[in-house]
Amino acid sequence: MAYFSDALSVAIQLILKFDPKVYEIVWTSLKISLIATTFSGLLGVFLGVWGVSKNLSVKRWSDTRSIP
């Protein structure tokens, strides 16, 4: 348990001292996350529009029968 508390103590010290390496790692992680989210969002919108334009829906709402 001492290992965990020592590691946590060092991590907090690095954050509070504004260690440049820590902030470089955090910034890199944020950039990668933003790029991945943007790419997947654009790809999802493109595939959604393409799927609707090609009538790739599994079942059309107009073909469903109402329950009597």
Number of domains comprising the chain: 1
Answer whether residue 33 is part of any domain. yes
Answer whether residue 28 is part of any domain. yes
Q: Alpha carbon of 56 to those of 8, 48, 49, 59, 60: distances in Å?
A: 52, 10, 10, 9, 9
pTM beyond 0.85, yes or no: no
Task: Give pLDDT tens digits for 24-44.
Answer: 999 999 999 999 999 999 999
Answer whether residue 11 is part of any domain. no
Answer whether residue 50 is part of any domain. yes
Answer whether residue 68 is part of any domain. no
Task: Give pLDDT tens digits for 44-56.
Answer: 999 888 887 777 6
Q: Answer yes or no: are the C-beta atoms of 56 and 49 closer than 8 Å.
A: no
**Residue 47 is part of which domain span?**
18-56
